[in-house]
Structure 1
Amino acid sequence: MIKQLHQLGTKLSFSQRRVLGNIAWLFTDRFLQMGLALFVGLWVARYLGPDRFGSLNYAMSFVSLFGIIASLGLDSIVVRDVVRYPDAKHEILGTAFLLKLIGGLVSIPAVIWVNSLLRPDEPMMQWLVAIVAVGGIFNAFNIISFWFQAQVNSKYSVIVRNTAYIMTCGIRIALISFEAPLIAFAVALLIEMILGGLGLLISYQWKERDFHRWSQSMQRARSLLRDSFPMIITGAVTVIYMRTDSVMLGQMANDRLVGLYAAVMKLAEMWYFVPGAITGTVFPLVIKLKEQNETLYYERAQQLFTLMAGLSYLVAIPISLFSSQLMFIFYGEDYVEGGNVLAIYVWAGLFVSLGVARGPWMVAGDLLNFRATAAAAGAVINVALNWVLIPRIGIMGATIATLISQCISCYLANAFHPKARELFIRQTKGIFLFGLPQLMHRFWRKGKLI
């Protein structure tokens, strides 16, 4: 086995080793955080109980609905532009940073005001939302992560994120030990955002030493906002159908159900970093491939869709079979009733991974407007189904709404657009694991997955 792995390593080109190395760093990032989440995050959930845990997650979900104001949909656009126009790096990063900083500042009063209208008689909830919302300012520093991603060199952002996460995990353990109130855990989340943002700035300055050269341009700002507008719409509606379930459960039912739903989501979505890490790493390569070889461009899409579907099945099948046991093991008896919900919710991961995997091809193929339309359709369907199903079947209604809306937005919608239909066909083949044996043979013999 060791000899085969050594032979595999010698067959990889420099660019292939760089891609796999970047994926390895991203996997290390998520595995470390996943391990800490199992220990600390579940401890927090047990300590707070479904009611208080639900209140904290309601605040986080509510703030995330306004997060698109802070991000402005610039993530993929920044990666694309610094790959295409490396000489304009300082202007792109500086302008995007300023735009995201302004967006973060604007979002704070907006989220506080809307929450005060929806839950006027709950001062604790208003404090929780306000504290979490302040963290949106520091999301502006995430622009540095996109730079490292564009360079296929994510180890610096990984080190920063994990350092911040480990430190705040220590804070959370101390809070549990001293039986701290709920609001202290919201403050710990804010501290994590602050440490992560400042850490990214320090790591960038240590690596590049040119933060002082960042500049802003009105022309560049207009260009970024124009190109990112479809992503703003996509991001907004994606957040709606990913997080509106929790908000609507809190408004139409109670925070206890929000706590159960949040616990289910954390288990079901724990592996979502995998499609994101793989797709984010190959993103710059796809942009280049579009201009060089159209046939190979779609072949790589097929390989990625097949890989994502296979990974989804490896996760969803065992979790569905042992959902109640997993809820008891991880969260305790208070959360066991979420087992049936987990058995269904976990299958949304199949469509989420296919949707994430199509992202680079959507950007490279100028399908961002369609992607926004598909996401909007998914959001509308999600809200409508929640509105109908939550009063009738409670938390299970929110779960069914999520599964259906993800299927439509990430998969079925592609069949209705001429330029996206090829992706739909390849997604469908991926669901049936088309070419999986050849894909695994290709990786083992040549060291290439895509």
Structure 2
Amino acid sequence: MKLPSIKGFDEEALKKYFKNTGMLLIGKVGSMGIKMLSSIAVANYLLSYGNGILTTSVAYVFLFAALAGLGLDQFVVKELHQFPDKRDHILGTAFFMKSFAGVLCIPLIYIAWLIYPLEGIEYAYIFLLSFMGIFQSFTIIDSYFQSEVKSKYIMQVQIIGNLVSALIKVALILTHSSITLFFVAYLLDVILLSIGYIITYNRKGRSIFTWKYEAKLTKKLLSLSWPLIISGIMVSIYMRIDQIMLKQLLGERGISEAGAYNTVVMFAEALNFVPVAIVSSLFPAILNARRDDKERYQKRLQNLYDLMVWMSLSFAIFITFASPLIYKLYKPEFLSAAPVLSVHVWGCAFVFLGVASGQYLIAENLGRLSFIRTGLGAITNIVLNLILIPKLGMMGTAIATVAAYFVSTFMVLLFKSTRKQGFMMLKSLFLVTAFQKLTKKN
């Protein structure tokens, strides 16, 4: 397919980014498809109560995942894009930082458990999952391939890793294994992906053993990423706190509700990979446009917002009507979650726009606003959960989540430096730019 030429734009570069995005999407679709099928099989095997124990434990540990990640990934992409000759120093420093944070999370999770344990769930499960942060340090390799616009290699790793993971879970189901082994399988998922990343990176003369730590670079990365660390923690809170609050506010019944609600989150989050895949792959092109042509930079951002809205609304409309059928095919035991999914899925419009505008904040060195926007989202989610869960159960969590996504995304309207981007997103959301384009064509 021949892509249209754009004044001031390198057509070969456009093809390169388009191909990378396509490969990344294929990889994400494949990975999410495999992961979803295996999650459905596990949920059907463990039923709502067992699945509630598993997913609530994962959500509890996930609250600390942002601390282990340090919000470094996009800044590493930016650094590698600007200073490719310092590859080993950038990757080595980032890896050391993420590994140290991953180790630090283990005692922090234990202290959190002493203060706020989850009744009905064994700490042994939490302890096992707490090691995930250490192995996730190797995801820094993903940032390297993003900077090189070669995400197809990561695609291959993710598909193979998720396929092996799915086969392991199917084997556990067929052998009627205990729930403990499913926790081991979750940890093994991260280990397998890390091994795949290392093998892929070590091809063509590259080696993780040439990575070098640089203290000066550590200070630079921390000074840039600390707002995103806080932001990531806030994101973790308002993306995962729902299941924990369901369990705590509704008591024993809450475990089963959390298990059913997890199927909603699973379907909704399967959609949320789309903006991440597209925006992550196009981030280098956005940076190039900002450097070379400010007007083209703004046009690309507006087009990106338009694309996010069209895709998210298409998904939301389809799933709203299809959710009862999805759950009838899925498992009747979880059918009560169908209307919850129909509400929850509308939050993806704000998620898609939030992911896109997040790249703008990074490009403009406005990362400090990221933790403000996600902080407001987290507060909104927690407050609304406290009000709505006792009255509406898991439907209350869905309403709270959609509201939190909206507040987080459009918080940019409150600040002069980002207000223009907020209006651009509103124009996309209300299809103003879409009608303008149609009018121009006619």
Is the TM value for this pair above 0.5? Answer: yes
Residue type matched to 1:82 in 2? L
Do the aligned residues in 2 keep the contact of 1:59 with 1:125 (CA within 8 Å)?
A: no
- Alignment partner of 1:179: what SS? coil
How many residues align structurally? 434
1:234 corresponds to which of 224, 231, 235: 231
For the residues of structure 2 that align with 1:62 and 1:439, how far apart are their CA atoms? 46
What's the CA shift for 1:374? 1.3
For the residues of structure 1 that align with 2:437 and 2:186, how far apart are their CA atoms? 41
Cα shift readout 1:271-328 (whole Å, capped 9, x = no counterpart): 2111111100111121222122211111111101111101011110121123222222
Cα shift readout 1:347-398 (whole Å, capped 9, x = no counterpart): 0000000000112211111221122211111111111111222122211111
Could you say which residue in structure 1 is the equivalent of 2:426? Answer: 428
For the residues of structure 2 that align with 1:342 and 1:440, how far apart are their CA atoms? 32
- Alignment partner of 2:203: what SS? helix
Please tell me whether residue 179 in structure 1 is matched to residue 176 in structure 2: yes
Residue type matched to 2:387 in 1? V
Cα shift readout 1:229-266 (whole Å, capped 9, x = no counterpart): 11111111111111111111122122111111110111
For the residues of structure 2 that align with 1:175 and 1:298, how far apart are their CA atoms? 51
After superposition, residues 9-88 of structure 1 pair within 5 angstroms as 13-88=11-86
Could you say which residue in structure 2 is the equivalent of 1:108? Answer: 106
After superposition, residues 87-166 of structure 1 pair within 5 angstroms as 87-119=85-117, 122=120, 124-166=121-163
- Alignment partner of 1:347: what SS? helix
Cα shift readout 1:26-80 (whole Å, capped 9, x = no counterpart): 1111221233234322111111111111111101111110112211111111111
Could you say which residue in structure 2 is the equivalent of 1:445? Answer: none
Please tell me whether residue 278 in structure 1 is matched to residue 296 in structure 2: no
Do the aligned residues in 1 keep the contact of 2:31 with 2:158 (CA within 8 Å)?
A: no
What's the CA shift for 1:175? 0.5
Could you say which residue in structure 2 is the equivalent of 1:396? Answer: 395
Aligned in 2, Cα 1:440/1:236: closer, same or farther, shift over 3 Å? farther
Do the aligned residues in 1 keep the contact of 2:93 with 2:212 (CA within 8 Å)?
A: yes
Cα shift readout 1:188-219 (whole Å, capped 9, x = no counterpart): 11111101112111111113424232111111
For the residues of structure 2 that align with 1:267 and 1:69, how far apart are their CA atoms? 25
Aligned in 2, Cα 1:146/1:441: closer, same or farther, shift over 3 Å? farther
Runs (5+) with no aligned partner, structure 1: 443-450
What's the CA shift for 1:10? 11
For the residues of structure 2 that align with 1:179 and 1:210, how far apart are their CA atoms? 41
Do the aligned residues in 2 keep the contact of 1:116 with 1:126 (CA within 8 Å)?
A: no
Do the aligned residues in 2 keep the contact of 1:36 with 1:169 (CA within 8 Å)?
A: yes
2:210 corresponds to which of 200, 210, 213: 213
Do the aligned residues in 1 keep the contact of 2:201 with 2:208 (CA within 8 Å)?
A: yes
Residue type matched to 2:88 in 1? H
For the residues of structure 1 that align with 2:38 and 2:61, how far apart are their CA atoms? 23
What's the CA shift for 1:439? 7.0
Do the aligned residues in 2 keep the contact of 1:303 with 1:439 (CA within 8 Å)?
A: no
Residue type matched to 2:258 in 1? V
Could you say which residue in structure 2 is the equivalent of 1:325? Answer: 325
What's the CA shift for 1:118? 2.8
What's the CA shift for 1:125? 3.0
Aligned in 2, Cα 1:258/1:208: closer, same or farther, shift over 3 Å? farther
Aligned in 2, Cα 1:378/1:208: closer, same or farther, shift over 3 Å? farther
How much identity, in percent, do the aligned residues show?
31
Could you say which residue in structure 2 is the equivalent of 1:447? Answer: none
Between stretches 126-135 and 169-178, larger displacement belongs to 126-135
Could you say which residue in structure 2 is the equivalent of 1:361? Answer: 360
After superposition, residues 289-308 of structure 1 pair within 5 angstroms as 289-308=289-308
Residue type matched to 1:335 in 2? F
What's the CA shift for 1:438? 8.0
- Alignment partner of 1:272: what SS? helix
For the residues of structure 1 that align with 2:261 and 2:177, how far apart are their CA atoms? 23
Do the aligned residues in 2 keep the contact of 1:302 with 1:427 (CA within 8 Å)?
A: yes
What's the CA shift for 1:152? 0.8
Do the aligned residues in 1 keep the contact of 2:28 with 2:277 (CA within 8 Å)?
A: no
Do the aligned residues in 1 keep the contact of 2:381 with 2:404 (CA within 8 Å)?
A: yes
For the residues of structure 1 that align with 2:385 and 2:110, how far apart are their CA atoms? 24
Q: CA-atom RMSD, angstroms? A: 2.0
Aligned in 2, Cα 1:356/1:112: closer, same or farther, shift over 3 Å? same
Could you say which residue in structure 2 is the equivalent of 1:203? Answer: 200
Cα shift readout 1:8-37 (whole Å, capped 9, x = no counterpart): 599983212211111122111122123323
- Alignment partner of 1:195: what SS? helix
What's the CA shift for 1:113? 3.3
Do the aligned residues in 2 keep the contact of 1:307 with 1:436 (CA within 8 Å)?
A: no
What's the CA shift for 1:112? 3.0
Could you say which residue in structure 2 is the equivalent of 1:244? Answer: 241
For the residues of structure 2 that align with 1:306 and 1:77, how far apart are their CA atoms? 25
TM-score, normalising length: structure 2: 0.94
Could you say which residue in structure 2 is the equivalent of 1:222? Answer: 219
Runs (5+) with no aligned partner, structure 2: none
Aligned in 2, Cα 1:26/1:350: closer, same or farther, shift over 3 Å? same
